[in-house]
Amino acid sequence: MTTIAVENPATGAVIGTVPDLTADDVAAAARRARDAQSAWADLGYDGRAVVLRRMQRWIVRHTDEVIATICSETGKAYEDALLAEVSYGAAAFGFWARQAPRYLADVRVRSAQPLVAGKRLVHRYRPMGLVGVIGPWNYPLTNSFGDCIPALAAGNAVLLKPSEITPLTSLLLAEGLRECGLPDGVFEVVTGRGATGAALVDEVDMVMFTGSTSTGRLVAARAAERLIPASLELGGKDPMIVLADADLERASTHAAYYSMLNCGQTCISIERCYVEAPVYDRFVELVTAKVAALRQGVPAGPGSVDVGSLTFPPQVDVVDRHVSEALAAGARALVGGQRPERRGHWYPPTVLVDVDHDMAIMREETFGPTLPIMKVPDADEAVRLANDSDYGLCASVFGGDLERAEQVARRIDAGAVAVNDAVVNYTALELPMGGAKPASGVGRRHGREGITKYCRQQSLLISRWHLRHDVHTYPYRPGRSRLLARVLAVLNRGRRTA
């Protein structure tokens, strides 16, 4: 069997190998999953919640092992793995175990239609069956694995195809699920490259994909050929707007932290910043000082570095191209701005000024440790430029007048907008998030839709009445059905008042 070498991107060292599974391997995994799914669904919410809550405790007990695995295959800092991955995963297992019964409970529907008077109308959710999840390399727990949790809570079997760059975290968590009592076959990790992901789409009843917009289009097209639903979380070029009355210390701290989180490889990180002219110089001064103080290096445990390496080798080329083109077009780098010569996949935290909207770094997803800052005359221009994008995933607005800042936020074309904050909206699992424009995807993660999308919907109509009382009794004579007479009277009254 062909294997894939997994590399530590911070050092270049090979840390493991995984199988490059074929379409036949994926099909066999799908058969095992389908065979196991019905028994898993029959456990009900309470039975499934037992396994999920055990896994929540397992993650807490194995925090150091999970973080070590994440850091070794992503190159991210210890704190990035702890706060944005392990804490998220532990919270997600408990959240979906608790909320699945509420979000997926039968809904009693009321109708004013006389023909269904006296009947019970019910809207219910059923497991999709076999859900496929294709995960990205930037967050192997939060995104690659995190989408599997609500799918399992809903009663589905799941096939997970993690990125071939970062598959080890998913395999470790799969071991944890087995230790916690998840029945064999219910959850399968299928490792491999793009062909493995394509084979997964051909086998499942629904697919959840997180990744680039270009690959998302391919996944959507393949799912459309099979007429199966696809939920896609794609690219972002997330803007930050700083109003003249903003708390600049808070705004600059958020700008520095959330543009460099996970070395900038976060789909909802701050990728471009618009600052009203009166506070531009001071804001730039504060951000520059904060970014310049960041420590970048190979993660070596808690507190060792602030920013790690990039994870995906080609991404370094994208970052370097965006910065180099901007500098050639007149931008200035106040911090960073030059690719280093060192082993591993590195680019330094970089702050750019004198940028404009013709530059790729203001229009294309950079997905790296960069923060371009642009001066604007007023909030209207900031909103116009923020919306001048193919992307619409997340955004943030900072201002002292909370009512005005919120009004600015409501004008931004993004699926989620934070006021006087950034990114942490993702941690509120009750709050749906997803793209507002096609390049940022379709569908929602979190909230009610974050689990109902993994379900088929069914409507039930239950008649409580004996057949002889129904309006559809045949044969009938005029006046035979009192209900029919009532229906006709209602309809006639409607016509008279129309």
What is the average pLDDT value for the chain, to the nearest integer?
94
Q: What is the pLDDT of residue 464?
A: 77
Q: What is the pLDDT of residue 347?
A: 98
- pLDDT, tens digit, for every residue of 354-388? 999 999 999 999 999 999 999 999 999 999 999 99
Q: Which of 233, 271, 276, 365 is catalytic?
A: 233
Cα 188 from Cα 117, distance rounded (Å): 47
Residues 325-350 have a mean pLDDT of: 97
Cα 413 from Cα 237, distance rounded (Å): 12
Q: Which two tokens stand for residue 267?
A: 């789909």
Residues 5-34 have a mean pLDDT of: 98
Angle of helix 44-61 relative to helix 168-179, nearest 10 degrees? 120
Q: Which two tokens stand for residue 181?
A: 């009592």
Cα 141 from Cα 342, distance rounded (Å): 28
Residue 418's nearest CA partner among 202, 263, 254, 252 is 254
Q: List Cβ neighbours of 338 (8 Å cut-off, separation of 6 or more).
A: 348
Overall residue count recorded for the chain in this entry: 498
Determine the number of helices (DSSP H) and then strands (DSSP E) in the chain: 17, 18
Task: Tell me if residue 403 is catalytic.
Answer: no
Give how far the C-alpha of residue 202 lies from the chain's centroid of Cα atoms, to the nearest Å: 22
In the numeric block, the tokens 């799941």 are attached to 158
pTM: 0.93
- Band (pLDDT 50/70/90 cuts) for residue 275 is very high
The partner residues of 455 in beta bridges, in order of sequence, read 127
Q: Percent of the chain beyond pLDDT 90?
A: 92
Task: Tell me if residue 285 is catalytic.
Answer: no
DSSP-derived 3-state class of residue 463: strand
- pLDDT, tens digit, for every residue of 444-486? 999 999 999 999 999 999 997 554 445 554 455 555 456 566 6
Q: What is the pLDDT of residue 481?
A: 56
Q: Which of 148, 180, 263, 267 is catalytic?
A: 267
Q: What is the pLDDT of residue 305?
A: 98
Cα 227 from Cα 133, distance rounded (Å): 17
| Structural domains of the chain, ranges and CATH numbers in brackets | 3-234+446-456 (3.40.605.10), 239-428 (3.40.309.10), 465-497 (no CATH)
Cα 297 from Cα 75, distance rounded (Å): 9
Q: What is the pLDDT of residue 232?
A: 98
Query: Is the pLDDT score of 25 beyond 60?
Result: yes
Residue 280 CB: number of other CB atoms within 10 A? Answer: 19
